[in-house]
C-alpha cells in the first residue's frame, strides 16, 4: 500500500525513444487509414497493424506522467482506502507483505523508541526497599474508616414472641429490637402526673351532653395508656437486647486486647533485635 501510494504520488520519468519515431508512427497510421478507405475489397475487420508488432516509442519531453491522488483513485474504483475496513484480499495481502519486507526509516525509528520505553518503564516501576529509619506515609499507617452502623455482633438473643406481640402495633410490622432506635427525648424520665380531684355531680345534672363528654374522655385516657404501655414494652425489649450485645462486645474487646498484647510483645522483640521500624 505504501509503495503503490509513493509511486502514484511521485511519478518517475521513463527513458523513452526519439521524437522522429513518434511522428513516423502517426504518418504510418494515417497512410493505413487512407488505404483502407480507398479500397473496396473486404479483407479483415481490423485494418491496423498487429499489436505484437506495434511498438510505442515515446519521448520524455512530449509524454509525461501526471500526478494522481491515491485516495481518489481507490474511491473511484470501489477499493477501501484502509485494509482494516474490509477483509484483506490476496492482492492486498501481497502488498502488505511487500511493504512489511522493506520497512521505512519511520518504522525503524518508532521501533527503536518502543524498544527503549520498556526499559525506562521498568526502571521507574522498581520500588526502592524500605529503610529501617524511613517514615512511611500517614495513609499507610491509618486504616480505612469503618461505618459503625455496618458492624454486626453475633448475639444469641431470641425474644419471647408474646413479648414481641405486646410491643408491636396491631396490623403493622413486628417490632425488631435489633433495628429500632429511640431518641433522647423518648428515653427521658416522665414526670408523675397526679390524678385530678373527683367532682361530685348530682344525678339530675347528668344529661346527654355530660355522658357524651364522659365517654370521650374515657376513650382518650385509654388510648394514652395503651400508647404509653406499648412504648414501655418496646424500650424494655430493646434494653434487654442491648444488654446481650454489650456482654458480647465486652468479651470481644477482651479477646482483642489479649491479641494486641501478644502483637506488642512480638513487636518489642523485633525492635530489640533489628531496631525501631
- Left if phi > 0, otherwise alpha if psi is -120 to 50, otherwise beta: which for 63? beta
Distance CA 20, CA 57 (A): 9
Distance CA 260, CA 71 (A): 75
Distance CA 219, CA 227 (A): 12
Is 10 a domain residue?
no
Q: Provide the domain limits for residue 189.
A: 153-276
Is 229 a domain residue?
yes
**How many other C-beta atoms are found inside a 10 Å radius of the C-beta of residue 136?**
9
Is 63 a domain residue?
no
Place of cell 450485645: 245
Pair 96, 83: CB distance under 8 Å: yes
Q: How high is the pLDDT of residue 87? A: 47
Q: How high is the pLDDT of residue 181? A: 86
Is 89 a domain residue?
no
Is 137 a domain residue?
no
Pair 130, 276: CB distance under 8 Å: no
Is 90 a domain residue?
no
Is 118 a domain residue?
no
Distance CA 7, CA 68 (A): 10
Residue 249's contacts (CB-CB under 8 Å, 6 or more residues apart) are: 153
Q: What is the pLDDT of residues 185-229, one digit of tens each?
A: 888 888 888 888 888 888 888 888 989 999 999 999 999 999 999
Asked whether the whole model's pTM tops 0.75, one would answer: no
Residue ranges of the chain with pLDDT lower than 70?
1-4, 6-67, 81-143
Distance CA 162, CA 192 (A): 29
Q: How high is the pLDDT of residue 106? A: 43
Q: What is the pLDDT of residues 136-152, one digit of tens each?
A: 555 556 667 877 777 77
Is 78 a domain residue?
no
The total number of structural domains that make up the chain: 1
Q: How high is the pLDDT of residue 101? A: 43
Q: How high is the pLDDT of residue 200? A: 85
- Please report, for residues 25, 260, 270, 271, 276, the alpha-carbon distance to residue 265 in angstroms, rounded to integers and kept in the order given: 110, 9, 9, 10, 14
Amino acid at each position: 500500500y505504501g509503495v503503490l501510494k509513493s509511486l502514484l504520488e511521485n511519478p518517475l520519468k521513463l527513458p523513452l525513444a526519439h521524437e522522429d519515431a513518434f511522428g513516423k508512427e502517426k504518418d504510418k497510421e494515417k497512410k493505413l487509414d487512407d488505404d483502407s478507405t480507398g479500397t473496396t475489397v473486404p479483407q479483415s475487420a481490423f485494418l491496423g497493424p498487429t499489436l505484437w508488432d506495434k511498438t510505442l516509442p515515446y519521448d520524455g519531453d512530449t509524454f509525461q506522467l501526471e500526478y494522481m491522488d491515491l485516495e481518489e483513485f481507490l474511491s473511484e474504483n470501489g477499493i477501501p482506502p484502509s485494509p482494516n475496513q474490509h477483509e484483506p484480499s490476496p492482492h492486498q495481502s501481497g502488498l502488505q507483505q511487500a511493504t512489511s519486507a522493506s520497512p521505512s526509516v519511520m518504522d525503524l525509528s518508532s521501533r527503536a523508541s518502543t524498544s527503549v520505553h520498556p526499559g525506562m518503564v521498568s526502571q521507574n516501576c522498581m520500588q526502592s526497599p524500605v529503610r529501617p529509619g524511613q517514615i512511611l506515609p500517614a495513609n499507610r499507617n491509618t486504616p480505612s474508616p469503618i461505618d459503625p452502623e455496618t458492624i454486626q455482633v453475633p448475639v444469641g438473643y431470641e425474644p419471647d414472641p408474646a413479648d414481641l406481640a405486646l410491643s408491636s402495633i396491631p396490623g403493622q410490622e413486628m417490632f425488631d429490637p435489633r433495628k429500632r432506635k429511640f431518641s433522647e427525648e423518648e428515653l427521658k424520665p416522665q414526670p408523675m402526673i397526679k390524678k385530678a380531684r373527683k367532682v361530685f355531680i348530682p344525678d339530675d345534672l347528668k344529661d346527654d351532653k355530660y355522658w357524651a363528654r364522659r365517654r370521650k374522655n374515657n376513650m382518650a385516657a385509654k388510648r394514652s395508656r395503651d400508647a404509653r404501655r406499648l412504648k414501655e414494652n418496646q424500650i424494655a425489649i430493646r434494653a434487654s437486647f442491648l444488654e446481650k450485645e454489650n456482654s458480647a462486645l465486652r468479651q470481644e474487646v477482651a479477646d482483642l486486647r489479649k491479641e494486641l498484647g501478644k502483637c506488642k510483645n512480638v513487636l518489642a522483640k523485633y525492635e530489640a533485635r533489628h531496631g525501631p521500624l
